[in-house]
Amino acid sequence: MSAEDYLNGQIILIDKPLHWTSFQAVNKMKYALINKAGLPKKFKIGHAGTLDPLASGLLLVCTGKFTKRITELQGQAKEYAGTFYIGATTPSYDLETEIDQTFDISHIDEALVLETVNQFLGEIDQKPPIFSAIKKDGIRLYEHARAGESVEIETRKTTIHEFEITRIALPEVDFRVICSKGTYIRSLAYDFGKAMNSGSHLTVLRRTKIGDYHVNNAMDVTLFEQSLTHLL
């Protein structure tokens, strides 16, 4: 592709590494395009849906005129795969924070796990985690959380289109989910444990699809940089 192609607009499929923020991935690509493809410093680039640092997988990055499609792409259904750890919770609902409570899991078996899935299919009410970027009174929730402040968080409607358990090896449960925009898989982990009269938190998360775009067709940020060498 030429520099002009990126200015006219491209959707680039990136496999975001674990521990990177979505902003870091886009920023690295931006400066590679400036330095290796000669694009102007103010050219447009952005992603269609944030992935947490503790999640890996598909990040859709739009350049040039295609940044106008970001809202459309964000609205598409997303597929995730990952692991719940049953029997313990954390304040962030994932591994960002330490375990704060442990629960009995002696009553949980394969049948209960599979039966509980049905409670989360279709439209559900979900409360976002306190460790999230949603704003409350102009301040992001994670800032309230880190300051030790208690905040009332309103539930929101979200839709779980598909929810499949792919492995049960208690205390671990692997899953695959297809869901609507705005779904928090960390909250799903927390609520799933609660629905079994126990606790749960998310230990692994990977986004595999956004609409018809699949992570199998995505590239590493470093490979993207290398693909620009012919433009020098």
Using CA atoms of 214, 92, 204, 12 in order, give the dihedral in degrees to the nearest 10. 20
52 a catalytic residue: yes
What is the CB neighbour count within 10 angstroms for residue 164?
12
Contact in structure between 91 and 97 (CB atoms under 8 Å): yes
Catalytic residue among 52, 125, 137, 212: 52
Which residue is it, tokens 């459309």? 72
Q: How far apart are CA 211 and CA 21, in angstroms?
A: 22
Contact in structure between 12 and 61 (CB atoms under 8 Å): yes
Residues annotated as part of the active site:
52
